[in-house]
Structure 1
Amino acid sequence: MTPPGPLARRLTAAVRSATAVETSGIEPIPADDREGGPGSSFTLWFSSNVQFSSLTSGMLATAAFGLGWAQALLAIVLGSAVGAAAIGITSTFGPPKGVGLLVQTRLPFGRSGAAMTAVLVFFKACAWFAVNSILGAFAVQTLIGTGFGPAFSIVTVAQVAIALVGYGFIHLVQKAMALVLPLLFIGVSLYGFTESDLGSGFDAAKAGPLGFVGAFALVAAIQAARALSFSSYAADYTRYMPVDTPPRKLFLYAFTGTWLGSVWIASLGAAIGTIAFIGTPTDLVGQVLPGALATVTMLALGVSTITSSCLDCYSGALAWLIAGVRMARWQAVLVVGALGSAIGWFAGQGDYWKSFENFLIILGNWIAPWLAVMLVQRFLVRSRDEIPSRNFGPGFTAWLLGLLAAVPFMSQPGVFVGPIAESHPALGAYAAAVAFLTAGLIHYALTRRTRAGATRTTTDTHEEIPA
C-alpha cells in the first residue's frame, strides 16, 4: 500500500485539528496556539450570509415596502456595505489580544457594564438561533415531507453539534459551504432573476406613509442591521489568528465575504418579491419554483440555515460566559441551544414575518451605539489605562445616552413608535444612525475629559496611570 503523500498528510492533519473539540473558553489564546490566515474570514462570512434570512430581508424591499427591483438593489448594496464594514472592522479586534470583542468591551464599559451587554448579546444569539431554526425546519419539512417537530429537531441538533466541537470545526464547515452553497443556489438564482419583474417600479400603495425615501431608507437599515447584528461575534472567529495577522487584509476578506453573500441573496429575494410574497420556504415551492429546482433549493436553504446558526450558538455561549456564568463552554452551548430551540418551537407555530422585521430593526437600534463606543475606543482613544472599572465605565453611559437619543425615532409597529417616527414615518429608519452618532460623540467627549483629568493628576502627584 502506497503511503500518503505530503499534501494528503497535511490535509489529514488539518481535518484532525479542526474536528478536535475546542477546550478554550473566553481566556486569551496563547501565541503558540495561534494559526490560520485572514482568508478564512471570507469563507465564514460569505457562507453565513447565503441563507434564507438574507432572502427574506431582500424580499421585504419589493413585496412589503414597494420598491422597484433596481431601487431595492441600490438600498441592499448600500445597507450591506454598512453591515459588512462593521464585520470587517470588528474582525480585526481578535488577533491583537486573542480574545473576543465582548471581553474587550470591559475596558470602555466597565466589568458590570460589559456583563450587561453580554447578556443582551446572549439573548440576541438565542433569538437568531430561533429564527434560523424555524426557517431551516420549514425547508427540511418541505424537503423530506415530515412534520414540523422532526424537521425542527434535525436542524437544532445539527446546529448545536457544530458549535459544540468549536472554532476549528466551524471554520472547516464554512469553507466547505463556501463551495457547496453557490452550486446549490445557482439554479434558483437563474430562475429568480430571469422570471421576476426586474423592471418593476415604485409601488406607493405598498410603501404607504413611508413614501419612497422612507421605504428606501428602511430597506437599507434592515439590510445593514442583519450584518451589523453579527459584528459582536466577529472577533470570536479571528482570536486564534496570529498576532501579526495584517488588519487590512483581514478587513478586506471579512468585508468582501459578507457583502457578496448579502447582496447576492438579498437581491435575489427582492427579485422573487416582485413575483410573490413568500412567507416560508414552503411557499417557494408552491408559488415560485418548479419541481426539481424546488427540491435543490430546499436542500440549500436547510443546509445554509444550519451553517449560519451555529455561529449564534457558539458566540452566544461565549457571551453567556462573559456575563459571569461559571460553566464550561460546551455547557453554555447547550444552554443557547435549549433556549433558542424553545423560542423557535413556539414562534414556529405561527407567521413570523412582522416579528422578523421588528427583530432586525430592534437589533440595529441597540447594537449601533455599542459598536460606536467600541470603534471610538479602538481608533480615537489614546489612553495608557488598560484596567477596566469594576462597575460601569464611560462607554456604558455613552451607550445608554445613544439609545435614549434614538427613542423618538424608533418605529416597531405593534411594539413601540416614537413621537418623531409617528409624525414623520420616513424618519423611523434613522434610529440606529442617531444612536450610533450620539454614543460615539459622547464616548469620545467623556474619555477625552477623563484623559485630561488623569494627565493633570499625574503631573501633580508624579504618579503614572496604570498600564
Structure 2
Amino acid sequence: MEPEVSSPPSRIERRSIDVIPDAERHGSPINQFTLWFGANMQITAIVDGALAVVFGADALWAIIGLLIGNLAGGCVMALHSAQGPRLGLPQMISSRAQFGVYGAVVPLVLVVLLYLGFAATGTVLAGQAVNEIVGVDAPVVGILVFGALTGIVATLGYRYIHMLGRVSTVVGVVGFTYLGIRLLVGHDVPALLGVVPFDVATFLLAISLGAGWQLTFGPYVADYSRYLPRHTSERVTFHSTLWGSVLGSQWSMSLGALIAAIPIADGGGFLDNQVGFLGELAGGGAAAIAIYLVIVVGKLTVNCLNAYGGFMCLLTTVTSVTRAASVSRAGRVAFIGAFLVASVLIALLASANFLDNFRQFILALLMVFTPWSAVNLIDYYLVSRERVDVPALYDPDARYGRWNPVALVSYAIGIVAQIPFMAQALYTGPIAEALNGADISWLVGLVVTAAVYYPWAKRTTDVPAEMIYPVGTVAAR
C-alpha cells in the first residue's frame, strides 16, 4: 500500500475503507455516547419496544425483558466499537482477517440487506412525520424529502454524523421527556403494569427484541469510533458506546411498551398510526409539530448511520476484487446515492403491515449476524489478541488469503444450529414450539459459533507477532 498523506479538512470526508492515519485522528469517547444515545432516541426504537406488548407481554415484563436484551446485545455491540481506535478501520474490513478477503463478502452481502431494511423501515416512519410537518398526504413526498436529507449528511460523512448525534441527543431528551410527562398526566400508567400474567415465551421475545436491536449495530459500530486517537482506552470506548446505546434504546423502548399497553377505549391505537399517535399524545398543534421534528431528527441520525455503513459495506465488497483501499469523492457520492435510491424504493413499496414485518425482520436478522459477531470478537480478542496485519486485509494473496474455511464453516454451523430454536412467521423450529414459541436462536448462534470457531482457529490462524499498520499511518512516539 502507498504511504498515507494527510490533507486539509474538507466538507466531504475523504477517508473511506482506508486506515485513518494518526495525524487525522480526533474526538473523544464521549462522542460515542452522544452518537449512540441520540441514534436510539427515535420512533423505530419505540415501535420495537411496543412489539413485545403487541405480541402478548405485560408492559412491566416487557420493559424488564427489553432491558436484559439491551444489556446483553449492547455488550457485544460495544466490544466491536472498542476495535475502532486501535484498527482505524471500518468494521467489515476487519472481517477479512477472519473470513479471508473474498470470504468476507458472504456476511457483507447480508449486512447490506440489513442496512437497506432498517433504512427503508425508518424512512417510512420519518416520511410520515415529514408529511405531518408540511401538511401533505402523499407518502412519496415525505419519503423523498427524508431520503434527500439522509443523502446530504451521509455524504458529508463522519464529523457531520457525530454532530447530528449530539443534536439528536438534546432534542431526543427534551422531546421524549415531554412525551413521558404527557403519558403520566393523561393515563393511569401504574394500571398498565401487571395486567397480563408472566409468560415465558413473550418474556423471551422481549429479550430477543432488545438483543436483536443492539446486535444489528455490530457490523458498523466501529465505523464511528475509528477516528478516535489510536491509544484511546478500549475500556472507555466500550463503556461510552454501551451506555449511550443501552440508555437511549431502553428509554425509547420502555415508552413504546407503555404506549402499546394503553387500551383502545382509553385513547390507545398506536398500532394504526404510530407517528400520528405520538402527535396526539403531545397534545396536537404546535406541540405535535415539535414532536414530529424530534422524530425526523432521531430517524435522520440512525438513517445516516445506515447509509454510511451501507456505503462502507458496498465499497468493501467491490474492493475485495479491485484491491483498492479507498474511493474518490465522486465514487463516494455514487455509492451512497445507489444505496439510498434502493432504500427509498423499498420504503415506497413496503409500508403495509409495518409492525409485523418489522418484528420478523429483526428476528430473522439475528440468525445471520450473531454468528458473525461471535467469529469476529473471538478472533480479535482471544485468537489474534488485537494483532492484525492491516495491509494484508487489502491483498487476497497475503496472510489472510482469499477464503478462510475455518471462519466460513463455523459461521454456517452457527446459522444452522439456530434453526430448531427459530420462531418465525414462515417457520417455527421444534424446540421453539416446545418453548411455547419463544425464540432464543440468537443466543444459540453466539454460543455454538464461539464453541466451534475458537479451538479450531486457535490451531490454524496465522497471527502476526505484533500489530502491523500501513507505512506512514502511525506517528512516531
**CA-based RMSD:** 2.3
1:111 matched to 2:101? The reply is yes
Deviation at 1:66, TM superposition (A): 2.9
Instruction: Tell me the SS of whatever aligns to 2:100.
Output: helix
Kept in 1, the 8 Å contact 2:279–2:291? The answer is no
Deviation at 1:310, TM superposition (A): 0.6
Deviation at 1:245, TM superposition (A): 0.6
Tell me which moved more, 108-117 or 435-444. Answer: 108-117
In structure 2, stretches of 5+ residues that fail to align are 1-7, 263-267, 390-398, 469-477
Q: How does 1:353-432 map to 2 (within 5 A)?
A: 353-382=355-384, 386=389, 387-413=399-425, 415-426=426-437, 428-432=438-442
TM-score (norm 2): 0.85
Tell me which moved more, 176-185 or 396-405. Answer: 176-185
Gap change, CA 1:243 and 1:332, over 3 Å in 2: same
Kept in 1, the 8 Å contact 2:201–2:435? The answer is no
Match of 1:291 in 2: 284
Kept in 1, the 8 Å contact 2:367–2:445? The answer is yes
Deviation at 1:24, TM superposition (A): 1.4
- In the alignment, the residues of structure 2 paired with residue 197 and residue 180 of structure 1 have an alpha-carbon distance, to the nearest angstrom, of 24
Number of equivalenced pairs: 431
Deviations 1:167-202 (A, max 9, x none): 111111111222222122221121124425334325
In structure 1, stretches of 5+ residues that fail to align are 1-15, 205-210, 456-463
Deviations 1:381-436 (A, max 9, x none): 147784212123412211110000001111111x222232234334x421010011
Deviation at 1:285, TM superposition (A): 5.3
Query: Hey, which of these two has a bigger chunk of helix by percent?
Result: 1
Match of 1:122 in 2: 112
Kept in 1, the 8 Å contact 2:182–2:281? The answer is no
Could you list the runs of 4 or more consecutive aligned residues of structure 1 that deviate by over 4 angstroms after TM superposition?
285-289, 382-386, 464-467
Match of 1:30 in 2: 21
Deviation at 1:304, TM superposition (A): 1.1
Match of 1:101 in 2: 91
Match of 1:330 in 2: 333
Deviation at 1:465, TM superposition (A): 12
Identity of aligned residues (%): 26
Match of 2:178 in 1: 187
Gap change, CA 1:382 and 1:282, over 3 Å in 2: closer
Counterpart residue type for residue 198 of structure 1 = P
1:315 matched to 2:305? The reply is no
Gap change, CA 1:465 and 1:254, over 3 Å in 2: closer
TM-score (norm 1): 0.87
Tell me which moved more, 98-107 or 190-199. Answer: 190-199
Q: Pick the aligned partner of 1:140 from 118, 124, 130.
A: 130
Match of 1:163 in 2: 154
Kept in 2, the 8 Å contact 1:108–1:393? The answer is no
Gap change, CA 1:295 and 1:110, over 3 Å in 2: same
Match of 1:273 in 2: 260
Instruction: Tell me the SS of whatever aligns to 2:217.
Output: coil
Kept in 1, the 8 Å contact 2:84–2:91? The answer is yes
